[in-house]
Amino acid sequence: MKMYRALCILGCAVMLGGCTESNIVNPENATVTPETGIIEGIELDWDQVTDELNDEFVKSDKYPFGDKIELNVDEGNVYIMVTVEDGVSKEEAAQYATEIIKALNVSVETQDFSYQSDEDKLYGTFSEENVIWIQVMPKSTADDESTWLVDDAVVPEMQREILPNYTEEEAESAEAAEAE
């Protein structure tokens, strides 16, 4: 009986040993080449981009003051509406907005490889081909445009950091402070 059991185990081992080579993973007589080319006409998943921005910039360790980010896209224009907790300065909001636009470009690049980052450029090639409008507003006064901290746009061929939404007096004060 022990001999019979040993022969059965040996027979199973031999049969299983013959089934280890797979033609699915490594087909015979075929060369496998990965898809590395740029595919034209990729439709971006803007919900995914919005989710990624909210994950990074809303109530995160680095940006605890972020409340909500919404995106709207229309014919080469991206509109980013950002609400923040009350008490954020216009300068902080402008830096925050600049970082959001950088992250937007990175998120788009992960979906469509035809867009690329460039160390010599502030944002990336998506911003060079599309207009990105960004508004940052305090949560409690979001409906009052006069209280918006940032109301700016990045346009193709004009890559620059986002500017605070200064009143005339604030702009004069900022210019005077820079001159000193």
Question: Domain of 117: which CATH number?
Answer: 3.30.300
**pLDDT score recorded for residue 43:** 86
Q: Is residue 57 part of a domain?
A: yes
Let me know: does 55 contact 107? Beta carbons within 8 Å: no
- As a whole number of angstroms, the distance between CA 90 and CA 92 comes to 5
**pLDDT score recorded for residue 26:** 57
pLDDT at 167 over 90: no
Range scoring the smallest mean pLDDT among 5-9, 35-39, 47-51, 76-80: 35-39
Q: Is residue 9 part of a domain?
A: no
Range scoring the smallest mean pLDDT among 18-22, 148-152, 170-174: 18-22
Q: Is residue 14 part of a domain?
A: no
Q: Is residue 164 part of a domain?
A: yes
Task: With cut-offs at 50, 70 and 90, classify the pLDDT of residue 116.
Answer: confident
Q: Is residue 21 part of a domain?
A: no
Q: Is residue 92 part of a domain?
A: yes
**pLDDT score recorded for residue 170:** 83
Let me know: does 164 contact 90? Beta carbons within 8 Å: yes
**pLDDT score recorded for residue 55:** 97
Let me know: does 120 contact 101? Beta carbons within 8 Å: no
Three-class secondary structure assignment of the chain: CHHHHHHHHHHHHHHHHCCCCCCCCCCCCCCCCCCCCCCCCCCCCHHHHHHHHHHHHCCCCCCCCEEEEEEEEECCEEEEEEEECCCCCHHHHHHHHHHHHHHHHHHHHHHCCCCCCCCCCCCCHHHHHCEEEEEEEEHHHCCCHHHCCEEEEEECCECCCCCCCCCHHHHHHHHHHHHC
Structural domain including 57 reads 46-179
Please give the tally of structural domains in the chain: 1
| pLDDT, tens only, 70-93 | 999 998 899 999 999 999 999 999
- As a whole number of angstroms, the distance between CA 2 and CA 99 comes to 72
**pLDDT score recorded for residue 174:** 79
Which value, in Å, is the radius of gyration of the alpha carbons in the chain?
27
Q: Is residue 37 part of a domain?
A: no
Q: How far is CA 56 from CA 27, 68, 102, 148, in A?
A: 42, 11, 12, 22
pLDDT at 61 over 80: yes
The overall average pLDDT reported for the chain is: 84
Q: Is residue 121 part of a domain?
A: yes
Amino acid at 82: V
Report field, pTM of the whole predicted structure over 0.95: no
